[in-house]
Structure 1
Amino acid sequence: MELRHLRYYIAVAEECHFGRAAERLHIAQPPLSQQIKQLEAELGVKLLERSTRKVELTDAGLAYLQRAREVVSAVDAAGDEAVRIADGEVGRLAIGFTGSATYDLLPTMARRLRASMPGIELDLRGEMLTPEQTTALREGVIDLGILRPPVNDPELDLEVLRHEAMTAVVPTDHRLAQQDAVHLSDLADEPFISYPSHLRSVVMQVVVDSCQQAGFTPDIRHEVGETSTLVSFVAAELGVAMVPESVKQLQITGAVYVPIVDAPEVALAIATRHGDDSPHLARVLPLVRGILTGD
């Protein structure tokens, strides 16, 4: 039995007329009649009662029609799904976000991806430092990373899409909280809160390097892994911090963001596994680029 036999039978059963069914199937009537006889012979049951004037379904024929429709519908649905997967309309995509991008980009990206590509299941992972993301990409845990370069890994493709200035975060009652802007040197005698040094945080290294260029080494009193915790520590008056400007989307009572006149910049990039030609990733990347570049 072939799938065409089921399609032929459904047409005859629905039309109750071999001539109309043949026209619907765009085949001649004699071959159609012969195919239905072969189907009945293979099943060993009579599906249709034929006369010179009409065709009627037997009880077995009616039951077989229902099952045949289910089979053909399932096969058609499987074919449609395969095409959608090949076109990148269906799939699962895991995306990692660096700490600051978690609050600025993750909500926007989630909304726009779900609106424009509802067939793609998203696994969004926030607060991932660059080293953690590179490892997750290599191991297939995530498919796309929104991270801070540099990344020196031949297994990954990197595309820098945005640069942003660093900003100071100080407690609400701090002497610099009401300033329109501060210089890096204004922070020289302050206790600092930073990302962990042992995790090779890109932002943490930028903070240390820029402070040293301004003539002092930051006195890092606390190291925390999450941006929300870092800003919360500032609000608790445990010290000051420097974060990318996008973190300003995270508003925590007791902490104030103050621009830095001579602010260093950090880059934001997307990273993927080299040679990853997943069709759903190919569909997502243009939208992600547009969000990061403001297009």
Structure 2
Amino acid sequence: MVNLRHFAYFVAVAEEGHFGRAAERLHMAQPPLSQAIRRLEAELGVELFHRTTRRVGLTEAGRAYLARARAILADVDEAGHEARRVAAGAVGHLAIGCVGSATYSLLPTLSRHLAAELPGVDFAFRGEMLAPDQVEALRAGAIDIALLRPPVADISLTVTLLRRDRLVVALPVDHPLARRRQIRVAELGRTDLIVHSADRRSVMYGVVLGLLRDAGVAPRIRHEVGETSTLVTLVAGGLGLAVVPEPVTALALAGVAYRPLVRPAATVDLSVAHRSDRTEPHLGRTVDVIRRMLRS
């Protein structure tokens, strides 16, 4: 039966035009090489070489066989290379979901880091995803990695804290509080607020209301929205103030000012999550890149 070793033997003889030189190239004795070529010809039922005392030349059948043999050996080499790249996490496809603040502050830099470190991995990004939507997308396989705001109660997911972001106030530039260098939580009780939607189970909705409750402030919520970009746009339109993670300041919009929130200072976590049963090397390497980028 013809095997890959026969292809390698045949190609060496065809390229060297001499059994002795081919044997040296293959690091073997000449008699076994000659016998292997004879067995190959017998298996195929054709002569592949014209033999003389001085040289070996290809027959027409041999020339045709050489082209196919080279292609097969090249495919085998490529298959091995591809397998090693997969094992090393250098190839694959991944979809990454991002909460609104990560969409604006992290995604541009993250996409460049991933392209530089894992050029063989095809990345797709879904921005402006609330944490509950990301959890459902992870379960369904619609995304592979999530940058989200915990808590995440699903025990089938691996969740790793990346950083803690300070909370700031987004407000219209002509609002009286915009003249202040910093804003106290208690002062938000006298203003109209724009918040992320409670109906869509936004983590930020609970964070903001908890912050106001702890400060003894009764919230005046005027608008609930699903996307961070919409929230900031409504602030720019003078429709209210919003408490947002500091990375949202990367979304520079005319008419919006950002001020630190103090007394008490507050933070919100950002984590990376994926399904615990996902063990592909390229997924693990991507999570490592994300963690290293955030640490730096």
What code does the residue aligned with 2:145 have?
A: L
What code does the residue aligned with 2:291 have?
A: R
* Residue in structure 2 matched with residue 258 of structure 1 by the alignment: 259
Unaligned runs of 5+ in 1: none
How far apart, CA to CA, are the structure 2 residues paired with 1:25 and 1:163?
60
Offset at 1:280? 0.8
Offset at 1:138? 1.6
Within a 5 Å distance, the mapping from 1:6-155 to structure 2 comes to 6-155=7-156
SS class of match (1:287): helix
SS class of match (2:177): coil
Out of 4-13 and 180-189, give the one that drifted further: 180-189
Within a 5 Å distance, the mapping from 1:150-189 to structure 2 comes to 150-189=151-190
How far apart, CA to CA, are the structure 2 residues paired with 1:148 and 1:282?
20
How far apart, CA to CA, are the structure 1 residues paired with 2:117 and 2:293?
13
Offset at 1:98? 1.1
Offset at 1:284? 1.7
SS class of match (1:19): helix
Q: Do structure 1's residue 288 and structure 2's residue 270 form an aligned pair? A: no
Q: Do structure 1's residue 269 and structure 2's residue 271 form an aligned pair? A: yes
SS class of match (2:165): strand
How far apart, CA to CA, are the structure 1 residues paired with 2:115 and 2:253?
28
Q: Is the 8 A contact 1:101 1:146 kept in 2?
A: yes
How far apart, CA to CA, are the structure 2 residues paired with 1:220 and 1:5?
78
SS class of match (2:84): helix
Q: Is the 8 A contact 1:211 1:217 kept in 2?
A: yes
What code does the residue aligned with 2:283 have?
A: L
Q: Is the 8 A contact 1:206 1:264 kept in 2?
A: no
Aligned residues with identical type, % of pairs: 52
How far apart, CA to CA, are the structure 2 residues paired with 1:143 and 1:93?
6
How far apart, CA to CA, are the structure 1 residues paired with 2:197 and 2:151?
17
How far apart, CA to CA, are the structure 1 residues paired with 2:267 and 2:54?
85
Q: Is the 8 A contact 2:188 2:217 kept in 1?
A: no
For each residue in 1:135-193, what CA deviation from the matched residue of structure 2 results, as whole angstroms up to 9, or x when unmatched?
11122222211111111111111111211111001112111122211111222121111
Normalised by the length of structure 1, the TM-score is: 0.96
Normalised by the length of structure 2, the TM-score is: 0.96
How far apart, CA to CA, are the structure 2 residues paired with 1:194 and 1:223?
5
For each residue in 1:232-289, what CA deviation from the matched residue of structure 2 results, as whole angstroms up to 9, or x when unmatched?
1100111111100010111011111111122321011111212321111121222111
SS class of match (2:151): coil
How far apart, CA to CA, are the structure 2 residues paired with 1:155 and 1:44?
59
Unaligned runs of 5+ in 2: none
For each residue in 1:117-146, what CA deviation from the matched residue of structure 2 results, as whole angstroms up to 9, or x when unmatched?
101111211111111111111222222111
Q: Is the 8 A contact 1:97 1:127 kept in 2?
A: yes
Q: How many equivalent pairs are there?
A: 294
* Residue in structure 1 matched with residue 192 of structure 2 by the alignment: 191
What code does the residue aligned with 2:278 have?
A: D
* Residue in structure 2 matched with residue 212 of structure 1 by the alignment: 213
SS class of match (1:124): strand
What code does the residue aligned with 2:114 have?
A: L
SS class of match (2:273): strand
What code does the residue aligned with 1:116 have?
A: E
How far apart, CA to CA, are the structure 1 residues paired with 2:88 and 2:267?
38
For each residue in 1:60-117, what CA deviation from the matched residue of structure 2 results, as whole angstroms up to 9, or x when unmatched?
2122211111111011111110111112111112211111111111111110011011
RMSD of Structure 2 on Structure 1 (CA):
1.2
How far apart, CA to CA, are the structure 2 residues paired with 1:253 and 1:122?
31
